[in-house]
């Protein structure tokens, strides 16, 4: 790896001053001469890698959140089915007791 020239350091300092968003916009709109364009791409490379790592971490987080949400929904569904079964059993028992109570009279 070669040592950065003074001109490269100055250009990188200008990129830092301009900020990532403006550098990307300038690249997109072909506002840099060829040499500066190559430096801009080189300057953005580690930032692109960091952004990719952040996206990957976010994707992993979202997948885990979706899994937890699915588990919670399944648990809630199970509880609802149990509640339904208890309600049906209570209804059947109350009907049975009502019929039995009228028959004894």
98 belongs to a structural domain: no
Measured between alpha carbons, how far is 39 from 18 in angstroms, rounded to an integer? 14
Burial class (CB in 10 A: 0-12, 13-18, 19+), 8: middle
pLDDT over 90 at 68, yes or no: yes
Measured between alpha carbons, how far is 15 from 24 in angstroms, rounded to an integer? 10
Q: Which letter does DSSP use for residue 15 in this model?
A: H
44 and 24 Cβ atoms separated by less than 8 Å: yes
The CA R_g of the chain, rounded to the nearest whole Å, is 33
86 belongs to a structural domain: no
- 78-94: per-residue pLDDT in tens? 999 999 999 999 999 99
35 belongs to a structural domain: yes
- 38-51: per-residue pLDDT in tens? 999 999 999 999 88
If we measure between CA atoms, which residue out of 12, 63, 55 comes closest to residue 36?
12
Q: Range of 65's domain?
A: 6-74
80 belongs to a structural domain: no
18 belongs to a structural domain: yes
14 belongs to a structural domain: yes
**Number of domains composing the chain:** 1
pLDDT over 90 at 14, yes or no: yes
């Amino acid at each position: 790896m070669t040592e950065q020239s003074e001109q490269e350091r100055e250009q990188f300092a200008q990129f830092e001053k301009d900020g990532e968003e403006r550098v990307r916009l300038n690249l997109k709109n072909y506002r840099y001469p060829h040499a500066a364009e190559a430096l801009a791409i080189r300057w953005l490379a580690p930032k692109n890698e960091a952004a990719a790592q952040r996206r990957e971490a976010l994707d992993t987080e979202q997948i885990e959140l979706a899994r937890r949400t699915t588990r919670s929904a399944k648990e809630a569904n199970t509880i609802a089915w149990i509640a339904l079964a208890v309600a049906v059993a209570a209804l059947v028992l109350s009907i049975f007791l009502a019929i039995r109570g009228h028959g004894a009279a």
